[in-house]
Amino acid sequence: MAIRPKTTSPIQPVQRTATVQYGRLLLYLTIVWNSVECAVGLLAGFWAGSIALIGFGFDSAIEVTSSLAALWRLWHDHDEARREAVERRTMRIIGVCFLLLAAYILYEAVETLIRREVPDHSLIGIVLAALSLIVMPLLVRLKRRVAIQMESGALEAEARQTEMCAYLSAILLAGLGLNVWLGWWWADPIAGLTMVPLIGWEGLEAVRGQTCCAHRSN
């Protein structure tokens, strides 16, 4: 079923143009922030041997891809037929990336638990997760306003992926924090395993095309 954000009245052409420009700005901010998250998350994760942090870094890379797809949609807002075709194709690619990411985290987390590999403490990762918990919910709220105004299921789907990133930030913060403060080394791979259902579900939804369909007027 396609996502259909509710709206109270049709958006006027002039207002739509301004909303498109505002939406682009939000997506540019999302791309920049997630690019930083990706770089810091992967570097800190591989350095500390943190499965949860590495998974978070890869998720940020996928979120960049999703934002680029949404940005492409806004650049082609005037061409609805082409826009929807690009959305469907791109979101299915993103869905496959999510499923591969879920499989990777699952494998690495289970292997870490079996081998009892203790990750190093990562204060950088804790700071990154805490900042993401502040930034991501704000971006979600602002992007959903744009999606509602434009009656766009694709933009709503992209906002949902940003929301998932906020959830993953909370899981990451819990795992890294427990490892630092209580020495619970297993909290990190468990946090990684907790990410798998969320990432896998979004991947399946995207592959099925159930989160990528733009609003179609009745």
Q: How much helix, strand and coil, in percent to the nearest 5, is found in the chain?
A: 80, 0, 20
- pLDDT, tens digit, 9 for 90 and up, residues 135-172: 999 999 999 988 888 777 777 778 887 887 888 888 88
Helix (H) or strand (E) holding 65, with range, is: helix 51-75
pLDDT digits (tens, 9 = 90+) for 171-218: 888 888 887 788 787 887 887 788 888 888 878 887 887 654 444 433
Q: CA-CA distance, 58 to 79, in Å (whole number)?
A: 32
Structural domain boundaries of the chain? Answer: 13-207
In this predicted structure, what is the pLDDT of residue 123? 85
CATH architecture, domain defined by 13-207 = Up-down Bundle (1.20)
Q: What is the pLDDT of residue 103?
A: 86
- The C-alpha angle with vertex 133 and arms to 130 and 134, in degrees rounded to 5, equals 95
Q: pLDDT by residue (tens digit) across 60-116? A: 888 888 788 888 778 867 666 676 777 677 678 777 877 887 888 888 788 878 877
What is the rounded CA–CA span in Å between residue 152 and residue 27? 15
What is the pLDDT confidence band of residue 49, given thresholds at 50, 70 and 90? confident
pLDDT 10s digits, 123-132: 888 899 899 9
pLDDT at 7: 47
The Cα 53–Cα 176 span in angstroms is: 8
Cβ neighbours of 91 (radius 10 Å): 28
Q: Residue 188 in contact with residue 50, Cβ under 8 Å?
A: yes
Instruction: Kindly report the average pLDDT of the chain as a whole number.
Output: 79
Burial label, 30 (beta-carbon count in 10 A; 0-12, 13-18, 19+):
buried
Report the predicted TM-score, pTM, of the whole model to 2 decimal places: 0.71
Would you state the pLDDT for residue 211? 52
Report the pLDDT value the prediction gives residue 78, as an integer from 0 to 100: 66
Q: How far is CA 90 from the centre of its chain?
A: 15
pLDDT of residue 13: 63
Question: Is residue 33 scored above 90 in pLDDT?
Answer: yes
% the chain with pLDDT above 90: 15
Q: Give the confidence band of 9 by pLDDT, cuts at 50, 70, 90.
A: low
Q: Quick one: tokens of 52?
A: 């949860």
Using alpha carbons only, give the angle 66, 55, 51 rounded to the nearest 5 degrees: 180
